[in-house]
Chains A and B, each alone.
Chain A
Amino acid sequence: MVPTLIQSKDALPKDDILVPQVGSDEQLMLDYQAGNISAFDALYRKHKGPLYRYFVRQLRDQQLAEDLYQDTWGKVIHASSQYQVSAKFTTWLYKIAHNLLIDHVRAVKPLDKVTPLGEDKTMDSLQADDQTSPEPQVEQQQQANMIKGCIAKLPAVQKEAFLLNIEMGMTAAMISDIANVTLEATKSRIRYAYQSIKQCIANQLQETI
């Protein structure tokens, strides 16, 4: 079977026609389209954690996060009959998730603007803070606990870019496609997000000392 284009609301640009590899997300989706339930099972188990955290980390309301998570998979199931491969499955999946997030949350409460770092908060300064951290094992454990709190403090647009990058390893190009923003803006969001988290952790470590 030669896959062609995705024909759905959340379809991606139709210029790249992909040939799915055996066992890839796209092939699993096509198998599910053909009626193979186990293919969807595999697809779901692979993506359920990151997608769930995508909503949970961005929304304070746990119930709303779960509803949107369920809605996202519902849209995937509904659109599976018209699914055609033109981009990565993950890009399509998170674009659906992003649109749902926009519809349900951002329409009600506008997102915070990107807050750029100050003049003195450069990568060098962050690196210097890192060098002054306590013992590695204790620091690692503390960092793991602190990261969660620091992510929650990120501006929404940075948080989304950060989560997509850290959970799925998405590039700035893919994230810009999902969030429908320019590549440069996405790169900035990712960079600021990481720097802010590092700063946040350093600040918390200093407070504990």
Chain B
Amino acid sequence: MSQQQDDAAFTALQTEIKDAYHQQPLEQPSAELDEAILAKARSGANVTKATSSVKKSIWQRNAWVFSSAASVLLLAGLFILNPSLQKQFGTDLDQHLPEPSASFKPLKSKADAPQVSESLIEDNTAAESIAVQELSMSSEPMDTQSVNRQSVNEESSNESTEAANITGSVASQMADKSSAEISAAPANVNPQAQKKALQLQSSRHAKEVQQVKQSFNGSLKGDIELDTADVALERLTVLMADNKLIEAERYMITIDQRFPELSDPSHPLYEQYHKIVLQLTSQ
């Protein structure tokens, strides 16, 4: 009851003061202030219009998408159009891929070599055989090196055959070079000298061909002569005769890897090799 009276009294008081308040002259902002604010509102409306129109731009809203797509397209275009990049990329990939079967074989034998070498440290002969095997299993440039070694030996013994020491492609290059020199020589050069040079060149070629033939026939001495099945079989026979069975067994494994054709019954040395193998495996 008292609360209601209080509220009613307060409402009356509020009305009374409100009436009195609004009867008095009330302050208003100056005309200058009004004009300044309205001018700001007008400029603000223009700015708002401009910003809203820019915000609706599709390029601004999707800037991320467009820039990403452009970057991807640029990269893809570079890879497609630039072959050197493709090659480089392919090379990088190849470095991480496993080796192809052709090149894998020598790598495998080289990887196996340290194991074999460790087991053969006590025997110099067996170690030598492994070295021979590595040499024989190496690719064409290695054979050229062997021929080079042969040529160097000959050079030390005979100075007059200096031209014959240059082998393979090097000799050919030199021959081509000398031919080129001859052809490029002036016309007033002595014809006899030219003839001698040509003879020297032809003799170089003949010597080179002979060396290659000898290396293939196994008539040359040194490491290269072991690179045949019959020589390896002879060495194995010698090891058996000397009763060096352990070395012979290891050498047999080497022969198996190097000359798998010996296991072919149609091979002329098959029976001889098979006999030695039987002897080794039966012990």
B38 at the interface (CB under 8 A from A): yes
Interface of A: prevailing SS: helix
B21 CB contacts on chain A under 8 angstroms:
144, 147, 166
* Interface residue tally for chain B (C-beta within 8 Å): 34
Q: Is the CB of A77 within 8 A of B41?
A: yes
Interface residues of B in 32-53 (CB under 8 A from A): 33-34, 36-38, 40-42, 44-45, 48-49, 51-52
A127 CB contacts on chain B under 8 angstroms:
9, 12-13
Q: Name 23 A/B residue pairs within 8 A (Cβ), A-sorted.
A: A33-B48, A40-B38, A40-B45, A41-B38, A44-B34, A44-B37, A44-B41, A53-B27, A69-B29, A70-B37, A73-B40, A74-B40, A78-B44, A80-B44, A80-B45, A81-B51, A123-B10, A147-B20, A148-B24, A166-B18, A194-B13, A198-B16, A198-B17
A206 at the interface (CB under 8 A from B): no
Contact of B34 among A32, A48, A53, A81 (CB under 8 A): A48
B184 at the interface (CB under 8 A from A): no
What is the interface of chain A, defined by CB distance below 8 A to chain B? 32-33, 35-37, 40-41, 44, 48-49, 52-53, 56, 66, 69-70, 73-74, 77-78, 80-81, 123-124, 126-127, 130, 140, 143-145, 147-148, 166, 191, 194-195, 197-198
B52 CB contacts on chain A under 8 angstroms:
81
* Extra inter-chain contacts (8) besides given A53-B26, A140-B19, CB under 8 Å: A32-B41, A35-B45, A52-B27, A73-B40, A123-B9, A148-B24, A166-B17, A166-B18
What is the interface of chain B, defined by CB distance below 8 A to chain A? 5-6, 9-10, 12-14, 16-21, 23-24, 26-30, 33-34, 36-38, 40-42, 44-45, 48-49, 51-52
Q: Is the CB of A52 within 8 A of B37?
A: no
Contact of B40 among A32, A33, A77, A140 (CB under 8 A): A77
Contact of B33 among A66, A80, A191 (CB under 8 A): A66
Contact of B23 among A36, A144, A194 (CB under 8 A): A144
Tell me, in angstroms, the Cα distance from A127 to B30 when the chains sit together.
39
Interface of B: prevailing SS: helix
Q: Is the CB of A48 within 8 A of B48?
A: no
Tell me, in angstroms, the Cα distance from A171 to B51 when the chains sit together.
37
Q: Is the CB of B49 within 8 A of A35?
A: yes
A70 CB contacts on chain B under 8 angstroms:
33, 36-37
Q: Is the CB of A147 within 8 A of B17?
A: yes
Q: Is the CB of A44 within 8 A of B38?
A: yes
8 closest residue pairs by CB, A with B: A77-B44, A144-B24, A143-B20, A123-B9, A81-B48, A52-B29, A73-B37, A40-B41
Tell me, in angstroms, the Cα distance from A48 to B33 when the chains sit together.
10
A124 and B9 in contact, given A35-B49, A81-B48 (Cβ under 8 angstroms) = yes
